[in-house]
Structure 1
Amino acid sequence: MPSVLVSTEIVIGTLLVVAVVVLATTYLRRRYIAKGLPLTLCGLRCTQTDRWRLGLIRFGDNALEWHTLGGVSVRPKHRWLRQRLVLDAPELLVGRDSIPLLPDASRVPCADGDGTFELALQGPAYTALRSWQEAAPPGYNVNVA
C-alpha cells in the first residue's frame, strides 16, 4: 500500500509542476510578445473556407502582428505593414460563424499587398485597430516650427 501512495504522490506532484511550468511559460510569452505595446485577442481566417484561429494581435509602430494563442514561439505568424493594410466595414459574427471566446465579435475583411484575410474582433478592439490604422506612425511626417 505505501508504494501505491508514493506513486500517486509522485504523479500528482509531477502534474502540478507541469501545470505551473505551462502557466508560467504562457504568462512570460505573453509579456514578451506585448513588450509594452497594446495586445488583444482576435480571430484570423485567411480564406472564406478556413476556420477561425484564435491568436493575439499586437499594434506595433509600423506593423500589425498576429501571434498564435498557444505554443512557445514569440515570433509573429503574420505581419502586416500599417501603410499597406486596408480595413473594410465590420460585420457582426452570427450563427455558425460566431466564436465562443469572442462574444459579440465582428468580422473585419482586410487586405494588404499580398492578399486578403479576415480578423474577428470585439468592439473596443476594432475601434483600437481602426484608430491605429488611421493614425500616423510615431515620427512620421512630423512638422515642427
Structure 2
Amino acid sequence: MPSALVTTEIVIGALVLVVVVILGVTFARRRYIARGLPLTLCGLRTAPGARWRLGLIRFGDNALEWHTLGGVSLRPAHLWQRQELLIDAPRPLVGDEAIPLLPGALLVPARELGQPFQLALQGPAYTALRSWQEAAPPGYNVNVA
C-alpha cells in the first residue's frame, strides 16, 4: 500500500511541476516579447470570414509585430513595417464575429503592400495603434486613412 501512495505523490508532484514550468515559460516569453514596449491582446484574420487567431501585438519602433498567444517562439508570426502599413476606419465586431476574450472589440481593416488583413482590438488598443501609426518619425511615408 505505501508504494501506491508514493507513486500518487510522485505523479501529483510531477503535474504541479509541469504546470509551474508552463506558467513560468509563458510569463518569461511575454516579458521577453514586450521588451519594455506596449503589448496588447489582439485578434488577427488574414482573410475576410476566416477564423480569428488570438495573439499579442507589439508596437515596435519601425514595425508592428504580431505574436501567437501560445507557443514558445520568440519571433513574431507577422511583422508589418510602419511605413508600408495602411489602417482603415474601424467598425464594431457584432454577432458571430465577436470574440469572447475581446469584449467590445473593433474590427480594423488594414493592408501592407496590397496584402489585406484584419485586426480585432479593444478601444484603447485601437487608439494606441492609431497614435503609433500617426507618430511616425519625420521622413516616413505614413499612410493613415
Q: What TM-score do the two structures reach when normalised by structure 1? A: 0.93
* CA deviation after TM superposition for structure 1 residue 7, in Å: 1.1
Match status 1:113 vs 2:113: yes
1:2-81 map, 5 Å? 2-81=2-81
Map Cα deviations across residues 104-144 of structure 1 (whole Å, 9 max, x no partner): 0010000110500000000000000000001123xx45xxx
CA contact (8 A) 2:82 2:136 kept: no
Match in the other structure for 1:94: 94
> Root-mean-square deviation (CA), in Å?
0.9
Map Cα deviations across residues 54-73 of structure 1 (whole Å, 9 max, x no partner): 00000001000000000000
Distance, in Å, in 2 between the alignment partners of 1:131 and 1:31 is 23
Distance, in Å, in 2 between the alignment partners of 1:126 and 1:4 is 55
Query: Gapped runs of 5+ residues in structure 2?
Result: 140-145
Aligned pairs, number: 139
Identity percentage over the alignment? 70
Q: What TM-score do the two structures reach when normalised by structure 2? A: 0.93
